[in-house]
Structure 1
Amino acid sequence: MRLRHVTFHHVRIPLKRTIRHASFTRTATDSLVVRAEWDGAVGWGEGLPRHYVTGETIDDAWDLIDRVNLAESFGGRDWTLPTLIARCGEFSLSPGRDDVRSCFGNSLRCALELALLDGAFRSAGESLRNLPRYGGEESAADPVDALPRYSAVITVMFQPRAMSQAVAFRALGLKSFKFKVGAKPGEARFVRHARKLLGRSVSLRIDANEAWRPEDLRDHMGRFAAASLDSVEQPIPHRELAALAGTRGTLPIPVMLDESMCSPEDAQAAIRDRTCDLFNVRLSKCGGFLPALRILRAATAAGIGCQLGCQVGETGILSAAGRQFASFALGLRWLEGSFDSFLVKERLTRQNLTFGFGGRGRELTGPGLGIDIDEAAVARVTIRSKTIRCG
């Protein structure tokens, strides 16, 4: 199979409600959607630049497109699935030594990798859930029989509304909840009350979104400890991560890294310095399937658990990618995403991938990502686009 051309879309996805947390407030999200045309098949990918996560804005990612020599990297030759996966595994958009974490450009890398793999697997008539069968060293496992259940993610900015959302999700049968905290007083009391209301059988986690100071960390944890939490996500800013060195397994609540976990290099540093107990892996910030699998492999070898997270404003493209990834990636304790009907006004897919009762999402068995794209919807939200010919 041959790659013919790739089209990049800067899209603006409107949200159904304003989302606020300690790091940001948004009513829409500016994202990259990539369309890759192969012989007889078209693949799609998506990435969400976040300057406070990987240091890239949508304009940075857009400018980076012009520095990607797609024709040289992927054009002018016939590909098999194993050779394409190997080439994608080698492909990097990092600017080099100035990017010590190797994460700048990851949103573009994710969107491009997903589009290439989706199109190639469609051309071959294979589902992307079968990626490990062709992935060599990047393999994780054969597809699992049952997906992990999706978690509820709730911002504790307006507490009465947040509690109503938690009760509604519990009535929907969800058994895992994450509360985004760090912005207002009384949040610890709220989470303790939520524990009593939701019951001891559910998993509760919090995400501080870098809002705490290292010197106040144990005090904050002490206030939440009575809620019996499974983790606190990114409690302090990444720039102060050194304060967590050597703390793995010693704090009252297990620490999960998020903004500080954007690449395999981040994973190796966290393992070496013993800065956390858990990793939050998100496809867009980590650069796609293959870098995310490297992170999971490192975590498994080090005895560190992982969550597959999502970013606010993901459309059905990344919802599908996350579901396919969760179908073969071992070691995932929690799964987030597929909030399509709850959050975005334009999901871009013909299928509604929103999770259902119990947090379950239906299996996607069609070729590639297993979804159909509403190209009219893509056109409605496109701000600008450019096409690169590859062969």
Structure 2
Amino acid sequence: MPIIDIRCHRVSAPLHTPFVTALRRTSTVDSLIVEVIDDECHHGWGEAPQVWRVTGESMASAEECVRHPLTDVIKNQDPDDLNRLLDQLARAVEANHGAKAAVDEALHDLAAQRAGRSLPRFLGGTTHRVHTDVTLSAGTPDELAEAASQRVKEGFDTLKVKVGTDAATDVERVKAVRQAAGKEAKLRLDANQGWTPREAVRTITKLEDQIIELVEQPVQAWDLEGLKWVSDRVDTPILADEAVYGVRDLVELIQRRAADLVNVKLAKCGGIAQARTMLALAEQCGVGTTIGSMMEGPIGVGAAASLAAAQGTTLACDLDAAWWLTKSPITGGMHYKGANIVLPDTPGLGVGNLTLSDPA
């Protein structure tokens, strides 16, 4: 029962609210959806998000990678020989982590369908619910306060505040969010590399009386020394995101003791297989974990949430990306219920069909 076809679909789906960070502003989720089909008409699904300012990949580059080097190693192969396929996938091409993640997710989805198990159960879990934070886009203090109040009313208890656009006024913005959200809400800050190390220490120190759960990627991704400098000088836990793509980056982070926590994302590391290794390594070395996503739709988020359901993390996950969509680009699959992602207890990811596709 070999893999007989690999198809690519470009999807652009609108957001109900612009997503604004220190790195970029977007009003759409733009992704390459990969469909892997076996000769019994099982369809496995995966997603490669287009995030120029983080991964540097586009839908066009991901498609080219999938259509040639990645297709070459999986077409006509046995999808039940999953470990061998994933190993070949990892070695087929350098970088191109989003493209690899999409194929990795599709292969996992296909294998789970063939086994008749949901993806969380296929990965060794039993639950189909995953708790997530929700992001507050960068904005004025009044805009952030209004958004925080609304999100709490909708059932979210962990708010991720985008800062880093202006260190001089970030303190005012965070205080406005804390006042609007109340004392019970957990606040996370994400600077998306927007501060210098000195700005980070000054800003975080001024905010430690606001009870901040963590600060994510305060400095430039390449500056591990700066990240460690910040971590050593503040009491608030520091979470590495853009600084850590895969296993090698995580090893260096651990060796330098540069951060307390790591955000593992499938589109950064290359898929579920690599992410599982990273989560296990972090646990063994005392580094806290969360599983996050880029601006992805329900396929990519569903795959990440399935891993979180199976393997667990030390923090609530960072998987609200598909919540921002005005309409799901698929039938079936995951959905949100308040601050929880609900995964279907049906084979694989439970995706029925792609509804907003532009077949490439």
Match of 1:366 among 314, 329, 346: 346
Q: Over aligned residue pairs, what C-alpha RMSD do you find? A: 2.3
Aligned to 1:179, what secondary structure does the other structure show? Answer: strand
Query: Structure 1 length normalisation: TM-score?
Result: 0.84
5+ long unaligned stretches in structure 2: none
Identify the residue that residue 348 of structure 1 maps to in structure 2: 329
Q: Distance in 2 between matches of 1:178 and 1:276?
A: 18
Q: Cα–Cα, structure 1 residues 15 and 148, in superposed 2: closer, same or farther, change >3 Å?
A: closer
Identify the residue that residue 337 of structure 1 maps to in structure 2: 319
5+ long unaligned stretches in structure 1: 97-103, 133-141, 386-391
Aligned to 1:295, what secondary structure does the other structure show? Answer: helix
Match of 1:173 among 155, 161, 186: 155
Q: Distance in 2 between matches of 1:352 and 1:334?
A: 21
Question: After superposition, where does 1:1-391 map in structure 2 within 5 Å?
Answer: 1-40=1-40, 41-71=42-72, 73-80=73-80, 83-92=81-90, 95-96=93-94, 104-132=95-123, 142-145=124-127, 147-184=129-166, 185-245=168-228, 248=231, 250-312=233-295, 314-340=296-322, 342-351=323-332, 353-357=334-338, 359-373=339-353, 375-378=354-357, 382=358, 385=360
Aligned to 1:355, what secondary structure does the other structure show? Answer: strand
Q: CA deviation at 1:8?
A: 1.4
Q: Distance in 2 between matches of 1:197 and 1:28?
A: 28
TM-superposition CA deviations, 1:111-157 (whole Å, max 9, x none): 1111122122212312111233xxxxxxxxx3144744221211131
Query: Structure 2 length normalisation: TM-score?
Result: 0.91
Q: CA deviation at 1:377?
A: 1.9
Q: Distance in 2 between matches of 1:321 and 1:125?
A: 16
Residues 38 and 120, structure 1, Cα contact 8 Å, conserved in 2 = no
Aligned to 1:361, what secondary structure does the other structure show? Answer: strand
Q: Distance in 1 between matches of 2:238 and 2:336?
A: 27
Q: Percent identity?
A: 23
Tell me which of the two structures has the higher relative contact order, counting C-alpha pairs closer than 8 angstroms and 6 or more residues apart.
1
Residues 247 and 274, structure 1, Cα contact 8 Å, conserved in 2 = no
Residues 320 and 371, structure 1, Cα contact 8 Å, conserved in 2 = no
TM-superposition CA deviations, 1:309-339 (whole Å, max 9, x none): 1222x21212321221121113341212245
Q: CA deviation at 1:172?
A: 2.2
Q: CA deviation at 1:94?
A: 7.0
TM-superposition CA deviations, 1:280-307 (whole Å, max 9, x none): 1122222111111111011101111111
Aligned to 1:68, what secondary structure does the other structure show? Answer: helix
Q: Which has the higher strand share?
A: 2
